[in-house]
Structure 1
């Protein structure tokens, strides 16, 4: 089973900001390149942080409302410093949370979830910037063709990994939803098969009605 890697999914043409990039220039970079955030790099092209639209909007949110309809929000000291910042290094969220190119989609997604970030700069072994991977990039695995998913499950997973005969266990895939059918020798194989199928890139759900044969009797086990 082969998980797609960050290197396969990341964007390589990365728009960057430097430490001293002015506020308005950062806004211009976002607007002209159609992105919502840019990494801030040092002189060796190593990510120091990321400045996003949310970081920049703190400056607007910190302004008084002339109409008086909305109060000035309370900001923590670090938020106040960002709101008053004028250069990328003062505006960015730091340190940069980075990924490595050889990471799988699963590893990158878990780090995004744990760190509550929407994108990860991708760096090499010397921490130099190679690319950037976003939530949208990771979601591209769900655009895999159903036939490609089915071939991976029936060939790589069921036949080569588990040694099952394709005539005994079949998999149908529609819009990423896998339906299993057939018979295995031991009941303990059923949750293993289901779990491995869920781990295939592009799989949305796994369901079916696998049976197991033990001691000459045939028992049915319905799976979700």
Structure 2
């Protein structure tokens, strides 16, 4: 079973990019050919130095003559808004929502481009089979409860909703278990019904 926890798990690895000197017309052609709305701009070292979008092209278009001499470096938005490949899926979703972006370049620790993540990529986690989600929840919860041999947790997932029941040795553990289940990509809600010892 493949866990979907980080951006590198859902991003598109085959990425189209341009360099600083790419001409206006070539950028337009690349956007049209690959059916994307923006492209990362790379420096000589392969690091992302900016992003050029359809909006940048429209704003930078002054007419046929001027456009012919315009390059990606003149048009691009900088600094580029990027996300690390090991960032969590919710982190990227919040960043895209806050910046009103449809796509984000994904970079490694040195700032080199390794992929691109789109809104659609982030939504893929909600198409995961319930069986995969349930298996990941069980694995995660067992890790959380490894020191509590008396804990017994049953997991059932239907339409992305995780149903948890069983017995826990400490009432405070219910919140821990529910929170852990809620972090699993693809979970849309968690419903819990545990029995715990009654305090004297």
What TM-score bracket applies, with the shorter chain setting the length?
Answer: 0.7 to 0.9
Give, in whole Å, the separation in 2 of the partners of 1:215 and 1:151. 32
Aligned to 2:116: 132
Give, in whole Å, the separation in 1 of the partners of 2:54 and 2:38. 6
1:185–1:118 Cα change, 3 Å:
same
Task: Report if the CA contact (8 A) 2:150-2:169 is conserved.
Answer: no
Q: How many pairs are equivalent?
A: 193
Paired residues for 1:103-142 under 5 Å: 103-142=87-126
Task: Report if the CA contact (8 A) 2:154-2:166 is conserved.
Answer: yes
1:166–1:53 Cα change, 3 Å:
farther
Aligned to 2:144: 161
Q: SS state of the match for residue 187, structure 1?
A: coil
State TM-score, norm by structure 1: 0.73
Q: SS state of the match for residue 80, structure 2?
A: coil
1:157–1:4 Cα change, 3 Å:
closer
1:17–1:148 Cα change, 3 Å:
same
The question of 1:87 aligning with 2:71 is answered yes
Of structures 1 and 2, the larger Rg is shown by 1
Aligned to 1:213: 197
Give, in whole Å, the separation in 1 of the partners of 2:131 and 2:35. 33
Which moved further from structure 2: 195-204 or 114-123? 114-123
Listed one character per residue, the Cα deviations across residues 75-98 of structure 1 (whole Å, up to 9, x for unaligned) are xxxxxxxx9x93322222211122
Give, in whole Å, the separation in 1 of the partners of 2:176 and 2:151. 18
Paired residues for 1:1-224 under 5 Å: 4-58=5-59, 86-154=70-138, 156-163=139-146, 168-215=152-199
Listed one character per residue, the Cα deviations across residues 31-56 of structure 1 (whole Å, up to 9, x for unaligned) are 10121210111222221111122333
Give, in whole Å, the separation in 2 of the partners of 1:187 and 1:146. 27
Q: SS state of the match for residue 27, structure 2?
A: helix
Shift of 1:157: 2.5
Gaps of 5+ in 2: none
